[in-house]
Amino acid sequence: MPDAQPSYRRILLKVSGEVLMGDQGFGIDLATLDTVASDIAEVVRAGVQLCLVIGGGNIFRGVSMAGKGMERASADYMGMLATVMNALALQAALEKQGVQTRVQSAIPMEAICEPYIRRRALRHLEKGRVVIFAAGLGAPFFTTDTPAALRAAEMGCDALLKGTSVDGVYTADPKKEPGAQRYERLSYFEVLAQDLRVMDASAIALMRDNAIPIVVFSIRERGNLLRVLRGEGIHTTITETRIAV
């Protein structure tokens, strides 16, 4: 029986920086980096246009440092630079697998990557290149959730996929409460009303306003990204529909 076709033509993949740590407590684990790159390459070869936003929490977390006394804006700018480092690392891993990529930064640094230009990014996607958006929005006081949602809307994506360490959205933290149940489907309203912390409220609202579904899945399992796109992997989908546990 032939494999099912991916459900979406163009997606934005949001990956937390912490995913790249693997089992380390800090930095980039090269084996994990290669695994994530392999999953992305597999999806691109299946004909899906893919752009990506990656966090920087494995290197520097602006919110945490601000909480320890560092001035918030400076801490956030440092966090943005950490996302550029992760983007360049992922670019190298993808190109090692033969996938053409472009890194676009919201903070201009033309010696190492392109500035963010919407029309240029769209052209890259149409040519089958993976576009990695770095440096958030180029402004402090935002996590990478909001730029991920904004870029998904700007790129005309059919879905925003959030790759995490957990295979969906649960009624409680499954690592702390073994009895927690996973939701198959949620509405944007239910995520906001129940404060489920899937993404920032501004990101959820932006996806709701643009009718872009959010798919939450575990990216730590090899091959799971393509399985989810084919409707086979375990995940939670957030749309306008009602709740189903």
Task: Give the tens place of pLDDT for each residue, 16-26.
Answer: 999 999 888 88
User: Which helix (DSSP H) or strand (DSSP E) does residue 202 occupy?
Assistant: helix 201-209
Overall pTM surpassing 0.85 (yes/no): yes
Q: What value does the mean pLDDT take over residues 116-141?
A: 97
Which of 4-13, 121-130, 173-182, 226-235 bottoms out in mean pLDDT, i.e. has the lowest?
A: 173-182
Q: How far apart are the first and last CA of the chain?
A: 30
Domain boundaries, the chain: 10-239
From the options 3.20.20.70, 3.40.50.300, 3.10.580.10, 3.40.1160.10, give the CATH code of 10-239: 3.40.1160.10
Q: Which of 173, 176, 146 is nearest to 160 (CA)?
A: 146
User: Which helix (DSSP H) or strand (DSSP E) does residue 19 occupy?
Assistant: none
Residue 242: per-residue pLDDT: 55
Residue 216 main-chain phi, psi, to 5 deg: -105, 125
Compute the Cα dihedral for 219, 223, 224, 225 and give only its sign: positive
> How would you classify the pairing of strands 114-115 and 159-164?
unpaired
Q: Do residues 217 and 234 touch, judged by C-beta distance below 8 A?
A: yes
